Amino acid sequence: MIQFEDVGKMYPATSKGGEPTIAVQEFSLRIEDGEFCSIVGPSGCGKTTILNMLAGFETPTRGQIVVGDDVVTKPGPERTVVFQRPSLLPWMTVSDNIGFGLTIRDKNPKGHQQEIMQMVEEMGLSGFESHFPYQLSGGMQQRVSIARALITDPTSLLMDEPFGALDAQTRSDMQRFLLELWKTSQPTVLFITHDVDEAILLSDRVVVMTPRPGMVAEEFSIELKRPRKWDSILSTEFLRYKKQILSVLRQEAG
C-alpha cells in the first residue's frame, strides 16, 4: 500500500528576488496493493514530482509518503522506476542490462543466469540477449528497461511516461504487452501519462491533477472488464470514462 499524506513540494527561487515555485500542494492519495493507478494532468502540474518523491529521488517539503509501514526517505529496491527514455547502459548486452540490478544487489553476476534468461523469454527478447542497446528498436529497449525493473521483484513499479517517446503502433504494442505483464506479476503500479486513452485502458483508477500547484482534482475508478484488449477503447463505457476525464481536465484548465 502507498499513502501520500498531505504532501507538498516547493522549489526555491532560481534567481535573486524571484519567487519560489510550489509544484505540489496538499496532495493526498492512497494506492492499494496490486492496484494499477495512473495520474493525468496538464504539463507542469507536478506529476513527475509526485513520482520522484515516491521513488525517493526528492524529499517532500511537507507531509509524508508511506509505503507499507515505512516512510519514504530515500530510494529503495522495493520501488523501481521506468523512465520515458530507456536508461540502458550502452556498453552492456541485453542480458547484462537486465541483470544489472541483481548484480548490484548480490555482487554475483554469474549467479542469476537462469533467472535472467527466463526474464528474456518472458519479455519476448529471445534471440536478442547478446545484442547491445543501439541494435534494438525503441520498443525493445523499453522492454529491456521494464525487465531490469521487474527482475528484482519490486513491490511497486513507478512508470514516468514510459511509452511517450514511441511511435503510435509501437506504443499500442507496448500497452498490450504491459497489460499481459501486469496480469501475471501484478505489482503495484503508479503510471504517469498525458494520454487519457492510455490511462483508462491500463488502469484500475485514474487520478486527475489540477494545474500547478498540483492537487487531486478528481479520481475515477475504471471498472472495465479485464483482461482488456485494444478494442476496449471503442466501447461505450470507455468513451464515457474518457468524456468525464476530459471534462475535468478542461474545467481545471479554465
Query: Each residue of 59-117: pLDDT tens digit?
Result: 999 999 999 999 999 998 889 999 888 889 999 999 999 988 787 777 665 668 888 89
Q: Note the pLDDT of residue 127.
A: 92
pLDDT (tens digit per residue) in 110-134:
668 888 898 888 888 899 999 999 9
Ordered by where they begin, the domains of the chain are: 1-78+187-254 (3.40.50.300)
Q: What is the mean pLDDT of the chain?
A: 90
Answer for the pair 192, 47: CB distance below 8 angstroms, yes or no: yes
Q: How far apart are CA 246 and CA 12, in angstroms?
A: 32
Answer for the pair 224, 56: CB distance below 8 angstroms, yes or no: no
Q: Which residues of the chain have pLDDT under 70?
A: 107-111
Q: How far apart are CA 126 and CA 162, in angstroms?
A: 22
Q: Note the pLDDT of residue 122.
A: 82
Q: Which residues contact 177 (CB under 8 A, 6 or more apart)?
A: 124, 143
Question: If you search the block for the grid coordinates 483482461, which residue do you land on?
Answer: 227
In 3D, which of 103, 93, 94, 194 has the Cα closest to residue 146?
Answer: 94
Q: Which residues contact 168 (CB under 8 A, 6 or more apart)?
A: none
Q: Note the pLDDT of residue 143.
A: 87
Answer for the pair 228, 182: CB distance below 8 angstroms, yes or no: no
Model-level pTM greater than 0.75? yes
Q: Note the pLDDT of residue 176.
A: 84
Q: How far apart are CA 237 and CA 241, in angstroms?
A: 6
Q: Note the pLDDT of residue 108.
A: 63
Q: Note the pLDDT of residue 198.
A: 94
Q: Note the pLDDT of residue 138.
A: 86
Task: Provide the grid cell at 119.
Answer: 526474464
